[in-house]
A and B are shown apart, each in its own frame.
Chain A
Amino acid sequence: MADIQYQAPEDLAAASALLAGAGGKARILAGGTDLLVQMKFDVVEPTLLIDIKNIAETRTIAEEDGGFRVGAAVPGAELGEDAALAAAWPGVVEAAELIGSTQVQGRASLGGNLCNASPAADSVPAMIAAGAVARVIGPDGQRDVAVEDIATGPGKTSLASGEIVASIFLPKRPANSGDAYLRFIPRTEMDIAVVGVGISLSLDGDGVCTAARVGLGAVAPTALLVDAAADALIGSKLDEAAMDNLAAAVSAACSPIDDKRGTVEFRTDIAGVLARRVASIAFTRAGK
Chain B
Amino acid sequence: MAKTHVTTTINGDETEFLCETEQTLLDVLRDELHMTGTKEGCGTGDCGACSVTMDGRLICSCLVLGVETHGHKIETIEGMADGDALHPLQRNFIDMAALQCGICTPGVLVAAKNLLEKNPDPSETEVRFWLAGNLCRCTGYDKIIRAVMETAAEMRGA
Instruction: State the A residues within 8 Å of B (CB).
Output: 1, 3-6, 8, 29, 31-33, 36-37, 39-40, 49, 51, 53, 75, 77, 100-104, 106-107, 188-190
13 example contacts (A-B, Cβ-Cβ < 8 A) are as follows A3-B20, A5-B2, A6-B65, A29-B65, A32-B65, A36-B45, A39-B22, A49-B21, A101-B45, A101-B46, A102-B130, A103-B60, A188-B132
- Tell me whether B65 and A3 are in contact (CB under 8 A): no
Question: What distance in Å separates the Cβ of A280 from its nearest Cβ neighbour in chain B?
Answer: 23
Contact indicator per residue, chain B 53-69, by CB within 8 Å of chain A (1) or not (0) = 01001111011110110
How far apart sit A53 and B68, CA to CA, in the bound complex (Å)?
Answer: 9
Map CB proximity to A onto B113-131 as digits: 1 under 8 Å, 0 otherwise: 0010000000000000111
Least CB distance from B141 to A in Å reads 12
Of residues 130 through 152 on chain B, the ones whose CB sits less than 8 Å from some CB of chain A are: 130-134
Q: How far is the CB of B134 from chain A (nearest CB, A)?
A: 8
B51 at the interface (CB under 8 A from A): yes
The verdict on A103 contacting B129 (CB below 8 Å), with A1-B22, A5-B2 known, is no
Shortest Cβ gap from A146 to chain B (Å): 30
A5, B22: Cα distance in complex, Å: 9
Which of chain A's residues have a CB closer than 8 A to the CB of B131? Answer: 102
Main secondary structure of the interface of B (DSSP, over half): mixed
User: Across the interface, do A100 and B57 meet the contact criterion of CB distance under 8 Å?
Assistant: no
Convert B11-50 into 0s and 1s, putting 1 for each residue whose CB lies closer than 8 angstroms to a CB of A: 0000000001110100000000000000000011110100
**Chain B residues within 8 Å of A32, by CB:** 63-65, 68
Q: Is the CB of A102 within 8 A of B45?
A: no
B residues sitting closer than 8 Å to A (CB atoms) are 1-2, 4, 20-22, 24, 43-46, 48, 51, 54, 57-60, 62-65, 67-68, 70, 111, 115, 129-134
Taking a contact as CB atoms under 8 Å apart, the answer to whether A37 and B63 are in contact is yes
A30 to B: closest C-beta gap in Å: 11
Question: How many angstroms from the CA of A104 to the CA of B132 in the assembled complex?
Answer: 11
**Bound-complex Cα distance A6 to B131 (A):** 32
One of A4, A8, A51, A103 near B22 (C-beta < 8 A): A4
Taking CB atoms, residues of chain B closer than 8 Å to A40 are 43-44
Of B20, B63, B134, the residue contacting A33 (CB under 8 A) is: B63
Is the beta-carbon distance between B68 and A103 smaller than 8 angstroms? no
Query: Bound state CA distance, A149 and B20, in angstroms?
Result: 36
Asked, given contacts A33-B45, A37-B45, A103-B58, whether A189 binds B129 with beta carbons under 8 Å apart, the answer is yes
Q: Is the CB of B132 within 8 A of A102?
A: yes
* Contacts A1-B22, A190-B133 given; does A104 touch B60 at CB 8 Å: yes
With a CB–CB cut-off of 8 A, which chain B residues contact A75?
A: 57
Closest 7 CB pairs of A and B: A101-B133, A4-B21, A189-B132, A106-B57, A6-B21, A106-B59, A103-B60
Nearest chain A CB to B53 CB, angstrom units: 8
B111 & A102 in contact (Cβ 8 Å cutoff): yes
Q: Is the CB of B111 within 8 A of A103?
A: yes
> Separation in Å of the A25 CB from the closest CB of chain B?
13
Residues of A within 8 A of B20 (CB): 3-4
Residues in B with CB closer than 8 Å to A188 are: 132
With a 10 A CB-CB cut-off, give which of B68, B70, B129 has the most chain A CB atoms: B68
Across the interface, do A36 and B65 meet the contact criterion of CB distance under 8 Å? yes
The answer to whether A102 and B43 touch across the interface, beta carbons within 8 angstroms, is no
A103 touches B44 (CB 8 A): no
Q: B63: which A residues are within 8 A, CB to CB? A: 31-33, 36-37, 103-104, 107
CA separation between A36 and B64, bound complex, in Å?
8
- The docked-state distance in angstroms from the alpha carbon of A100 to that of B51 is 14
By a CB distance below 8 angstroms, the chain A residues around B59 are: 103, 106-107
- Whether B67 and A103, one on each chain, are in contact in the complex, defined by CB atoms closer than 8 angstroms, is no
Taken together as a complex, chains A and B put the C-alpha atoms of A40 and B132 apart, in Å, by 23
B22 proximity list for chain A (CB < 8 A): 1, 4, 39
Asked if B54 contacts A106 (CB within 8 A), the reply is yes
Asked if A103 contacts B45 (CB within 8 A), the reply is yes
